[in-house]
Structure 1
Amino acid sequence: MAAKESTLMAEIDENFLLCSICSERYKNAKILPCLHSFCEPCLGKLAEESGNITCPVCRRVHEPADSVADIEDNVFLNELLELFTEQDSEDKSKSKTCDMCEQGEVTKHCVECTFDICDNCARGHSKVRSTKSHRLVSVDEYRTVKSADPASVQPPVYCSIHSEYPVEFYCDTCDTAICLKCTALDHSKPEHQYRCVQVAAKDFAKNLSAVMDKMKVKETEANDSKISVQRVLECLDKVYLRVEESVREHIRKTIEEITRLIQEKGDELLTEVKGEYDKRRVNLTAQLKELDIAENDLTSTREYVEKLMHYGSASQLMSAKKGVDHQTEVLLKVQTQVEPVEDDYMDFQPCDDFCRDKCLGTIALLPQGTSWTLPTSLYGLVKKSRPWSEA
Structure 2
Amino acid sequence: MASPSTTVNSATLENLVKCAVCLDYYNDPRCLPCSHTFCYQCIEKLCEDGMGQCPMRDNSIIFRHTIDQLPVNRIAKDLVECIKKSSLSGRKCDHCKQILSEFICETCSKHYCTICLKLEHDINQFQTHQINIIFNENSKNFCPEHTEEKQKYWCTLCQQIVCSDCLLFKHQQHTFITLEDFAQKTKIELNSSMQQIIEMKQNLEKLRHKTTEAYRHHCHTHIKTKNRIKQTIKYLQALLDARMEYLITTTTEKYLTQQQIIRQQKTNVEEHLKIVLIRELFLKHVLNIEDHIKLIQMKNDLITYNQLITDQYQQLIEGCFFDLQHFNIQDDLKKIQQLIEDFGFMSIETFLTNCNDIQPLLKLSELSGEEKYQPFQGIYAYGYRFHLTAPLQINAVRVKVALFDQNLTLYILDYNDILIQKEIIQTNDTNSTTLKWLTIPITCQIQHNYYIFIWTQPCQQSIPLIAYRDSTNNLRQINKQVSIRSKRAQINKSTNIDINTKFDVLYDALLNNDERSQTTISAIEMILDI
The structure richer in strand per residue is 2
Task: Say which structure, 1 or 2, has more relative contact order (CA 8 Å, 6+ apart).
Answer: 2
Structure exhibiting the larger radius of gyration computed from Cα positions: 1
- TM-score scaled by length of structure 2: 0.20
- TM-score scaled by length of structure 1: 0.27
